[in-house]
Amino acid sequence: MFYHNLNGRKKDTTSIALIGTGHFGTAVLIQSLVIDDLRVAAIADKNADAIRTAAAHAGLGPDRIRFCETKSEIVGAMDCGAVAAVSDAMLLMDLPIDTIVEGTGNPEAGARHAEAAIRNGKNVVIVSKETDSCVGPILRKHAEDNGVVYTPVDGDQHGALIELIDWARSLGLHVVCGGKSRDAEFIYDSVDKTVTVYRDNGITIKETKTVQLDDSEVDLFENLGDDPAGRIALRKKILDKLDKRGGFDLCEMVIAANAAGLRPDTELLHDAVIRTSEITDVLCMKEDGGILSTDGAIEVVTDIHEKREAGLGGGVFIVVHADNDYSQMILNTKGCISNRKGSVALVYKPYHLCGVEAATTLVAAGIYGISLVDSGYRQNFDIVQEAVIDLKAGDIVGNDHDERFLTHMIPAHPIAPDSPVPAHMLNGRRLKTDVPKGTIITYSMIEEPEDSMLWALRAEQDLM
């Protein structure tokens, strides 16, 4: 890696303020304590106990973290080398720090915090993908106009995928498909003839589900045969009762698609249940034996493997080819998994380390003024919600874990009565009308919020 060479030429330490002390923010705080170039100066969270928990995980005693209520108290804590802790994130905006890390996961709060930070000359590292998926391009434009950085974060799946695509293209490779593996992995047992999914919260297993296979179904999970598309469809049908792809999976991928110029091959994405070794035979163009009609596709896969095999759960991948046959030969023979024709190869990271690897983005933004996205970041696509049950006027729409909805990725539309609403502009919105099953939610169906920064930014972005 070249980071130590770059950082050795710059003696700066960049300072950040964290908004949100959940899983991601806690890891950022912990890692900052062992990274010389990075200092967490302040933390904001409405839940004081969440701050205390994060501080405990980081080993910060009462002398290292101080709860403050005013700007003068915050500055005093920072001057003493302590981490200032506040409940009101807006107190952080005009402090002498370089970067605001927005990690609330709330799309409206994320929009307000990001806009305020940019207006106050702060870089923004946006962990809240919910905000980024709706108004990321306009926030990036505002940051550029104000001479600061707006960037997704390395360590989250879309950030890791954007970096992987950029790396491949910088080598002159063509990206046929890019995507992520869902966190949920399917474990195939060839002896017991079962497929099991383990659902966990990152610490403890909460639930398992198992499908028993008939003898006639086992071969479907052993190989792809001569009909990858047909076998993938049958796998999904057989495993239908296991965890399905959620809206949160498409949220990250729509950001990557908009940043990297990829497109969905189908509105729902194929979401193949697939071994890592099968990706290149499935996610390549039809003329190469795969299932794709779109060159430069965005995808999500559900990784399936046996217990003894390594998985891809939570990792990111790209399917690439080299225009030169000799270079393609090198890809195929030097460690990359290739398809049967040898026309494409797989490059992947079988992990995304969340806040543990976020420091690369924080240092790049704070010291070097570098973002993961550039002026090509455009709202080409949105994720939108289809009701899978009949809904009634007055119902409140939830977030992208709301199981009453099926998430599509479609070309972006400007705000208009009959236009589909981006998924995270729906969070917490009340339906004005009954919505029959099978209907995609449009603006005319919901109550528009008052004084919404998210909606205002989206309206401005529509004009861009």
Indicate if 413 and 277 belong to the same structural domain: no
Q: Is 240 helix (H, G, I), strand (E, B) or coil?
A: coil
Which DSSP category does 391 fall into?
B
Decide if pLDDT at 10 tops 70.
Answer: no
Q: Are 346 and 280 in contact (CB under 8 A)?
A: yes
Decide if pLDDT at 1 tops 50.
Answer: no
Decide if pLDDT at 79 tops 50.
Answer: yes
Arithmetic mean of pLDDT over the chain: 94
Indicate if 340 and 431 belong to the same structural domain: no
Indicate if 348 and 321 belong to the same structural domain: yes
pTM of the complete model: 0.95
| DSSP bridge partners of 241 | none
pLDDT tens digits along 297-341: 999 999 999 999 998 989 999 999 999 999 999 999 999 999 999
C-alpha angle 112/156/399, rounded to 5°? Answer: 55
Indicate if 226 and 336 belong to the same structural domain: yes
Tell me what the mean pLDDT of segment 140-150 comes to. 98
- Give the pLDDT of residue 8: 57
* Residue 234 counted as domain residue: yes
Indicate if 48 and 112 belong to the same structural domain: yes
Closest CA to 373 of 203, 111, 170, 144: 144
pLDDT tens digits along 425-443: 999 999 999 999 999 999 9
* Residue 375 counted as domain residue: no
Indicate if 83 and 186 belong to the same structural domain: no
Residue-by-residue DSSP string for 33-59: TT-TTEEEEEEE-S-HHHHHHHHHHHT
Indicate if 73 and 94 belong to the same structural domain: yes
Q: Could you say which of 339, 368, 397 is where a domain stops? A: 368
Indicate if 50 and 65 belong to the same structural domain: yes
- Residue span of the structural domain in which 442 resides: 381-462
Indicate if 135 and 178 belong to the same structural domain: no
The whole-angstrom separation of Cα 365 and Cα 279 is 34
- Give the pLDDT of residue 207: 67
Q: Binning pLDDT at 50, 70 and 90, where does residue 270 land? A: very high
- Cβ partners under 8 Å of residue 350, min gap 6: 181, 276, 310, 311, 312, 313, 315
Tell me what the mean pLDDT of segment 94-114 comes to. 97
Tell me what the mean pLDDT of segment 111-123 comes to. 98
Indicate if 342 and 248 belong to the same structural domain: yes
Tell me what the mean pLDDT of segment 245-262 comes to. 96
CA distances from 270 to 97, 226, 234, 261, 292 (A): 43, 18, 13, 18, 9
Residue 130 has which token pair? 């919910």
Higher per-residue pLDDT: 203 or 238 = 238
Q: Binning pLDDT at 50, 70 and 90, where does residue 464 land? A: confident
Q: Binning pLDDT at 50, 70 and 90, where does residue 12 land? A: confident
- Give the pLDDT of residue 208: 86
Indicate if 46 and 173 belong to the same structural domain: no
Q: Could you say which of 368, 394, 410 is where a domain stops? A: 368
Indicate if 127 and 169 belong to the same structural domain: no
Q: Binning pLDDT at 50, 70 and 90, where does residue 202 land? A: low
Q: What percent of the chain has pLDDT over 70?
A: 96
pLDDT tens digits along 380-420: 999 999 999 999 999 999 999 999 999 999 999 999 999 99
